[in-house]
Amino acid sequence: MSIKGKGYIMGAYEHPTRLAKDKSVAQLHAECAAGALADAGLTKDDVDGYFCAGDAPGLGPLAMADYMNLTLRHLDSTDVGGCSYLNHVSHAIQAIAEGKCSVALITLAGRPRSEGHSGAVPRVRGADAPDTQWEFPLGVATVNAYAMCAARHMHEFGTTAEQLAWIKVAASHHAQHNPHAMLRDVVTVEQVVGSPLIATPLHRLDCCVVSDGGGALIVTSPEIAKQLKRPKVKVLGAGESMKGQMAGQVDLTYSAAVRSGPAAFAEAGVKPGDIKYASIYDSFTITVLMQIEDLGFCEKGQGGKFVADGNLISGVGKLPFNTDGGGLCNNHPANRGGITKVIEAVRQLRGEAHPAVQVKNCDLALAHGTGGLLGSRHGGATLIMERE
């Protein structure tokens, strides 16, 4: 069975807050849910399927579904880190196609900025995880796990710090138009490579922001989508995978997108060259570079050349990406950027992105997420969407 055309993204909402000292995580989830429902023209009583991941408080979906007083026929708490919400869109359409629900709500929210979390501080990702005793004592944080990928990419392919910097530069060109973005100043390649080294070879400006906030999506059946007034965003294809250390046969040059990408393109029946806009997970500049290669936008090892000289800037380059400013400049709520990737793709397909960054005739878009640590074990999920 294919999910192609079996479900539509009919509601999308990004919380405007970037610092939420006065709100709880549950409240942020619920405010995002209310925003997405209002966007779709639905109410909470229309929701019969609910999806959330590890950022939700309490046990799976129980706390949040109870907080929002939902009556559900379908629940799913798939958690593979920051890309989980792309998996949720795919899983929601699978459930809709099987008749298990017809209006699915997906929420993400968190307040890592208020709580003082940083990607430079090692943390235990499950004391009983089988890898913890071998890695946590080493000081593996988020940034240095990604940095090892960047170091290896540079070593094998000659990728440069300046090429990576172009990714931040492109994101900043987009963020200047987003009043909610945390970083709105346009930066130059020189500013990125001149910013302090955090974990070699990654600089401070190679890293995403740490922000509070959240987002929500509404996925519906084709029948319900027809009754709603919003532009219809049809999901054409989806793919998901993960990649680990392969029992010690470590290869840091590629990501799980080598599997999730081709699966999504095959289901959608389109090619990378057909994509008009791409939301690419941008926890760090290297994340974008590797995913662009793995999704087939360029050959492996050629990502550095591909992203340079503004090729990711809307209106300038061939592959406009993250036109909201992405995680690099706009928002990375709960330290998980997956849902905002889908939200900006929906804006582009609806023609509702900021006019300065709106891609002309944007009828086909891709969103890709990475969850966990690219340098050790991570999830990858790809969605291909069409304006109908």
Partner 1 sequence: MSETKKERKIPAPMVNPETEAFWAAAKEGKFLLPHCVDTGKAFWYPRQVSPFTMGKVEWKESKGLGTIYSVSVMKRAPEIYAIAYVTLDEGCTMMTNIVDCDFDKVAIGDRVQITWKPAEDGTPYPQFKPA
Residues that bind partner 1 (CB under 8 A): 120, 127-128, 130-141, 143-145, 147-152, 155, 196-202, 245, 247-250, 252, 376
Helix H segments across the chain?
Answer: 25-40, 62-67, 84-97, 132-135, 143-157, 161-175, 189-194, 222-227, 257-268, 285-294, 303-307, 338-350
Contact 332, 183 (CB under 8 A): no
Cα→Cα distances 145→24, 120, 225, 335, 342, Å: 30, 10, 42, 15, 25
| Shortest spacing between CB 119 and partner 1, in angstroms | 10
Contact 331, 15 (CB under 8 A): no
Q: Specify the residue, 196 or 273, whose C-beta has the smaller distance to partner 1.
A: 196
Q: Which is nearer to partner 1, 250 or 316 (CB)?
A: 250
CB 72 within 8 A of CB 253: no
Cβ 208 to partner 1 shortest distance, Å = 15
Name beta bridge partners: 104. Answer: 49, 219
Closest of 123, 107, 118 to residue 54, by C-alpha: 107
Minimum distance, C-beta of residue 281 to partner 1, in the bound complex (Å) = 20
* Min CB(246)–partner 1 separation in Å: 8
Residue 41: count of CB within 10 angstroms of its CB:
14
Sheet arrangement for strand 103-110: 74-76, 49-51, 103-110, 213-220, 8-14, 233-243, 378-387, 364-372, 277-280
**Six token digits for residue 136:** 């946590």
Minimum CB distance to partner 1, residue 378 (Å): 14
CA distance 381 to 263: 10
The two structure tokens encoding residue 156: 């094998």
By beta-carbon proximity to partner 1, the closer residue of 1 and 138 is 138
Among residues 202 and 238, whose Cβ is nearest to partner 1? 202
Minimal distance, residue 234 CB to partner 1, in Å: 40
C-alpha–C-alpha distance, residues 10 and 39, integer Å: 8
Q: Supply the minimum distance, in Å, between the C-beta of residue 121 and partner 1.
A: 8
Instruction: Please state, in angstroms and rounded to a whole number, the distance separating the CA atoms of residues 257 and 260.
Output: 5
Q: Which is nearer to partner 1, 132 or 227 (CB)?
A: 132
Name the phi and psi angles at 25, rounded to 5.
Answer: -65, -40
Q: If we measure between CA atoms, which residue out of 221, 225, 269 comes closest to residue 6? A: 221
Closer by beta carbon to partner 1, 163 or else 323: 163
Specify the residue, 134 or 388, whose C-beta has the smaller distance to partner 1. 134
* Structure-token match 């086909």, residue found: 364
Q: Which is nearer to partner 1, 103 or 141 (CB)?
A: 141
Cβ of residue 134: shortest distance to partner 1, in angstroms?
4
Rounded to the nearest whole angstrom, what is the least distance from the CB of residue 197 to partner 1 in the complex?
A: 5
Number of C-alpha atoms within 13 angstroms, CB side, residue 111?
15
Specify the residue, 2 or 245, whose C-beta has the smaller distance to partner 1.
245
The residue behind tokens 């027809």 is 226
Q: Min. distance of Cβ 332 from partner 1 in angstroms?
A: 17
Nearer to partner 1, 76 or 135 (CB): 135
The SS3 call for residue 337 is coil
d(CA 9, CA 372): 25
